[in-house]
Amino acid sequence: MTDKFWKTKELEAFTSEEWESICNLCGKCCLVKVQDEDTDEIYYTDVVCKYFNHDTCTCKEYENRCTLVPECLKLTIDNLDKIEWMPKDCAYKTLLETKDLPDWHPLITGKPLTDEHNIKGKCICETLVKEEDLEDHIIDEDL
């Protein structure tokens, strides 16, 4: 990949490899969210999809995720600016808004995210939580 391609190319021109490399592997988009029926506000929980790999902060079924979990989001350039619940430190969102990546991003540091920037060890699998108990797991998005 071209060094700092995100600074020289428009998002629409990214190759699929470049697009995928923008993901900082924080895992926050894999957290189960609940929506308030009255206000439509969306809240994060500390519950994560059953396909989440807790060691790598990646999806165990990435290629099939949208088939296995129909509500799973496939982030694209076309929907990036339409998803209001994206984590505020999502690299895609940051790149769209600022045209740059944060200093701690793996493409800049050459190192994986530190636990400060991911959900590793901070969440539990959805198979361990009943749906009616999800509200008890609402958290601050900043985990």
Does the pLDDT at position 49 exceed 90? yes
pLDDT of residue 143: 55
How many Å apart are CA 33 and CA 82, to the nearest integer? 17
pLDDT of residue 142: 59
What pLDDT digit, counting tens, does each position of 68-109 carry?
999 898 899 999 999 888 888 899 999 999 999 999 899 999
> Is residue 116 within 8 Å of residue 24, measured between CB atoms?
no
Note the pTM of the prediction, 2 decimals.
Answer: 0.87
- 3 — pLDDT class (breaks 50, 70, 90): confident
The DSSP annotation for the chain comes to --TTHHHHS-GGG--HHHHHHH-----GGGEEEEE-TTT--EEEEEEE-TTEETTTTEETTGGGHHHHSTT-----TTTGGG-TTS-TT-HHHHHHHHSS--TTSHHHHSSPPPGGGS-TTS-EEGGGS-GGGGGGGB--TT-
What pLDDT digit, counting tens, does each position of 118-137 carry?
899 999 999 999 999 999 99
Give how far the C-alpha of residue 75 lies from the chain's centroid of Cα atoms, to the nearest Å. Answer: 9
Residues 6+ apart with CB under 8 A from 8: 2
pLDDT of residue 84: 83
